[in-house]
Amino acid sequence: MQSTPINNSEFLSYLSKNSEDEITRLVWGILTYNALVYIHFGLAITGVLPLWTFCIAVPMYVARWMIGLHEALHIVKLEDTNSLIMLHLLLITPISLGYREIRDIHMRHHAYTLTENDPDIYHLRGNMLSGFILATFSPEISAYYWIRDKGVDKTLLLGMVLRLTLFCIFVGSLGWLSLWYFIPVRLAYGTCMFAISFPLHRKDGAYGTFTPNFGAWLETVMELYAGGAALNTLKYHDIHHDYPRISAQKLPVARYHYKPKRSSLAISSMELN
């Protein structure tokens, strides 16, 4: 008796389903890595650990926090999102958006990828240097565009006031010592934003959704430091754009059943300049 062949589309839809346990682990991961940033910094400024250990460890915390947050944007319904995650409490800048706004921006990036309506297009244009600089300052730039285009409602205002208050307390309490926090955290954030955007959507002057080839040695280092979820999101970003609800850990399996939905993954750079 012959077995029924696996329907690729149905299997990818199956992979897109996430159990309550998977979502719970995802949420706790986000909260844990957010907390580790502050715990490690606290241990560093009190002399329990050298300050340089924070500079080395914080990119690992931020990368794992950010990739978890990115996954939650797709997998967890807005109304079901954990309250602490909604507040977006990784302090980077005095003026910042909350999770709700960041989720809206990212959903529009997926809906209008590499078009004039893509809210991330500003840091995908230009060259690698400009892309890195703009990605690094994306919290402020995104806040500016959001307020310019959508204004400020009560929810955003309350969140912004809370984050600004915490920022002022943080800086007021630590003074110049706070730079040991803000510089490495900002650089880690900018590097992660750049890594998940520019090299995945730009290649040889063309725009598209590309799959980088890091090589076995670099992949091993990246997985140990940033985590398997981060590595998979970079390696299988083409699949992620077509099936954004497939969790990062399942993307390698999805590769064997995936065919691009779009007729072309790359467009001429001339169309966006």
DSSP assignments along 65-130, one per residue: HHHHHHHHHHHS-GGGS-HHHHH------SS---HHHHHHHHHHHHHTTTSTT-TTGGGTSS-HHH
Report, as an integer, the average pLDDT of 16-35.
95
SS3 call for 203: strand
For residue 180, being part of any structural domain is answered with: yes
DSSP 37: H
Within a domain: residue 270? Answer: no
Q: What percent of the chain has pLDDT over 90?
A: 79
pLDDT at 145 over 90: yes
* 159 vs 66: CA distance, rounded Å: 19
Q: Are 126 and 202 in contact (CB under 8 A)?
A: no
The confidence score (pLDDT) of residue 24 equals: 95
Range with the poorest average pLDDT among 61-65, 120-124, 191-195, 201-205: 201-205
Question: Residue 53 domain-assigned?
Answer: yes
Q: Is residue 98 part of a domain?
A: yes
Residue 9 domain-assigned (yes or no):
no
* Span 239-273, pLDDT tens digits: 999 999 999 999 999 998 888 765 444 444 434 55
Q: Are 88 and 251 in contact (CB under 8 A)?
A: no
pTM (two decimals): 0.90
Asked whether residue 182 is domain-assigned, the answer is yes
- Residue 232 vs residues 221, 228, 238: alpha-carbon distances, Å: 13, 6, 11
User: Which phi-psi region, left, alpha or beta, contains residue 153 (left: φ > 0; alpha: ψ -120 to 50)?
Assistant: beta
Region for 49 from its dihedrals, namely left if φ exceeds 0, alpha if ψ lies in -120 to 50, beta otherwise: beta
Number of compact structural domains in the chain: 1
In this predicted structure, the answer to whether residue 90 has a pLDDT above a threshold of 70 is yes
Percentage, residues of the chain above pLDDT 70: 93
pLDDT tens digits for 151-210? Answer: 999 999 999 999 999 999 999 999 999 999 999 999 999 999 999 999 999 888 888 888
Q: Domain for residue 266, yes or no?
A: no
Domain assignment of residue 85, given as a range: 15-258
Q: Tell me the average pLDDT across 124-152.
A: 95
Determine the pLDDT at residue 262: 55
SS3 215: coil
Q: Is residue 181 part of a domain?
A: yes
| Closest C-alpha among 57, 157, 56 to residue 100 | 157
* 206 or 60: which leads in pLDDT: 60
Residue 227 near residue 67, CB atoms below 8 Å = yes
